[in-house]
Structure 1
């Protein structure tokens, strides 16, 4: 007990109080300045019991602490395993994210390439469209001019030269005082036959007795009633 421990550790005295029935402490003479105390066997046995009890208590305490440390170790190992699983999961997710980012970069590059190609084609088509629009505008202008232009007036220019009527600058006759070559007169009348033939077709006219036959300088009239007459 505590009193016994104090007695064992207290300074040595020449005399000591003892209880009734207990053997007194015997102090040996000092030798070399050191005095010794004789402890009775009963007291020694009591001290050994105290030490054994203390060892048992300490052992139980240590066992409890060991169990707690083992549980703490298991908990830390589990946490470490969870951390390792999370680390692997994060690494896998990071790898997937990197692969996805690389795929998106490739798709973006392909998209930019296709967009550039489409833009080039669009510019070419715009140029072609503008060219076609300009051609259509020019053709429309020419068409408007043609609509305002008389085909007969453009093809057959009827006028006069002195005393002679002319068609396409070809005189339609001659006078004794103004001889005109026969070829010019025939050509003028050939143009006249062609003009009359075109006007008749345009207006839907049909001659009853004669048919116009335009044949250049050799144009003629064909009789519808008598095929032998021209």
Structure 2
């Protein structure tokens, strides 16, 4: 699998160029699946109008669904346990790119596993995972207690999927999030015990078999490396 991990979506030409480089054909020839599940676990973005805006490609200032894909499907992870595998797995295997919204990373991690979606990941060697905020953070080993909101039944911790080997502090210096400062990110990173990046909404991290690359027209910093 190839990863384009963003804080705010495909917000500038550099991030768009990185996306084009990961895909093996133009965007308007690619099949995408929109996965809004993470939004439902976060009180700021779902359920409700924000989830609809993401699914409808109306994500103002945070483009992902509305990038001009050849076709767009909707995959809701919370529904999958009630469906036969043959009813949804072919759509995942056929997708060129998976669009993971923001929201709550622990909630999303829970449903990636609970739905059986995680079992397919080893097969998706050529698929692009395009994440925004929690949709990017969920790929990491840990998100830090500062970002833990939803808790699974019986409790849990800040661990997520561990598909990449670093953690992400998103929305650095965002005007709507005054506590998301570099100083806060540096304090957050000290408790993780591993590498991390603080990135703003004009920054993305590309992960392929060849390594990790930061693509940015904004502000970012490698932490605890």
The structure with more radius of gyration: 1
Normalized per residue, which structure has more strand? 2
Bigger relative contact order, structure 1 or 2 (CA pairs below 8 A, ≥6 apart): 2
The TM-score normalised by the length of structure 2 is 0.16
| Greater fraction helix | 1
TM-score (norm 1): 0.16
